[in-house]
Amino acid sequence: MAKQKASAGTPATVALTAAGLPFALHPYEHDPAAASYGLEAAEALGVEPDRVFKTLLADTELGLVVGVVPVTGLLDLKALAAAVGAKRATMADPAVAERRTGYVVGGISPIGQKTRHVTVVDETAQLFETVFVSGGKRGLDIELAPDDLLRATDGTYAAIAKETA
């Protein structure tokens, strides 16, 4: 995977370039009517959905926390709270998530957020050589090694995903 130039243009790509971390950009044609942006990305990019991760923000008494989980599952709010030492977590208001990250819902990247948040990546990311996360806008994913994702976000691994019902 070659290092990309910062001219690629989102705060996520700029942050990765500045950190010297290798990544690959994967643009795709985004359909605004897609039921799941993450599953749409997996299909458009031709990768197994378990390798594509979505970025979700949760509110805790310690502040906002970022959870990064496979698009095939759900964020386990209890597990996320436990992972960061909080009593409980609830999903953050989408408007607050957009304001605090600088990204729009459906294009929130865990990398290069306007305000740095505690970040937890589901431990299943370690099963893959590379994973895909939002590149900072709808229709753009970034492929990178899971450990580089942790480096870019100062994140940790924990079991924070649960199966869909």
Distance CA 20, CA 16 (A): 6
pLDDT of res. 164? 74
pLDDT of res. 5? 44
pTM: 0.92
SS3 34: coil
CB atoms within 10 A of CB 128: 16
pLDDT of res. 4? 45
**What 3 state SS string does 96-148 have?**
HHHHHHCCCCCCCCCCCCCCCCEEEEEHHHHHCCCEEEEEEECCEEEEECHHH
Average pLDDT over residues 87-91: 97
Query: For the segment 106-163, what is each residue's pLDDT rounded down to a tens digit?
Result: 899 999 999 999 999 999 999 999 999 999 999 999 999 999 999 999 999 999 999 8
Query: For the segment 32-85, what is each residue's pLDDT rounded down to a tens digit?
Result: 888 888 889 999 999 999 999 999 999 999 999 999 999 999 999 999 999 999
